[in-house]
Structure 1
């Protein structure tokens, strides 16, 4: 299940809803990950743009990838502004087996950071400033590509 919200995520409500959805389905593990915006480098928060069609495709490919483990992934992410000390990202995995769930949540979060089509901005003094130094290239998109490669 992929959910997108405007602004900060209501962590307790989202996790409770996911838990209620799976608690009677005989899964042995429910492992969430909650990302919290840190107060660092003088930012007031973060802001996010999302390309939803590619994000949906990426997420659905992950659901297929974990199906052989009888696992299911959940993910919630913010659009727009998210202030410090609130959440912009939650993911969770349910699986019959704890070890598989631990492996999946780690791999999923790492791949999310590297490949999800979500662009991050710092919020500083009421302005959105593209966080290029903390952004990664999106595979195949040409975004953030090395300028030497583009000049060739």
Structure 2
């Protein structure tokens, strides 16, 4: 099991979070905090679909591994590729730390930075079609022709 895992379709939440817990519960971490993102039934969508550019994602995630290491913590993440329907999970993040305050603060920073910086393109699934969710997308720093 790696710290960053990608899955086709919706995430097997219990399998992932239970495996993380089993692996790290005896590592003397006082806090193992998880965040599970669930696709909401809103705006008449049937779900979301995701494209991921793995080389940039790996670079982004590795910077978080280093940041967490300086705080004696680790970060874990799982994300979906492809289609994820309403009420299913597309994203799970976790922080393990000896101290709860570090874990609480780091999970918040990690999830917010993920939403702003990770190279994952989101599409709405509407009547079986993928429609780019431009209004809910954030430009990635350093991308684009004029960067």
Which range, TM-score by smaller chain? over 0.9
Q: How many residues align?
A: 144
Aligned with residue 118 of structure 1, among 103, 113, 120: 120
> C-alpha distance in 2, partners of 1:42/1:65?
39
Question: What is the RMSD computed on CA atoms of the aligned residues?
Answer: 0.9
Runs (4+) off by over 3 Å: none
Instruction: Choose from 49, 67, 83 the match for 1:81.
Output: 83
Aligned-partner SS, 2:7: strand
Task: Please give the TM-score of this superposition, normalised by the length of structure 1.
Answer: 0.93
Residue 95 in 1 paired to residue 97 in 2? yes
- Whether 1:56 and 2:31 are equivalent positions in the alignment is no
The equivalent position to 2:32 in structure 1, one of 30, 33, 38, is: 30
Question: What secondary structure is seen at the aligned counterpart in 1 of 2:125?
Answer: strand
Equivalent-residue separation in structure 2 for 1:18 and 1:4 (angstroms): 15
1:25 is paired with a residue whose SS is coil
Deviation at 1:69, TM superposition (A): 1.1
Secondary structure of 2:112's counterpart equals helix
- Residue by residue over 1:112-151, the C-alpha shift from the partner in whole angstroms, topping out at 9 and shown as x without a partner, is 00000000000000000000000000111028xxxxxx7x
Q: 1:115 & 1:88 partners in 2: Cα distance?
A: 17
Runs of 5+ unmatched residues, structure 1? 144-149
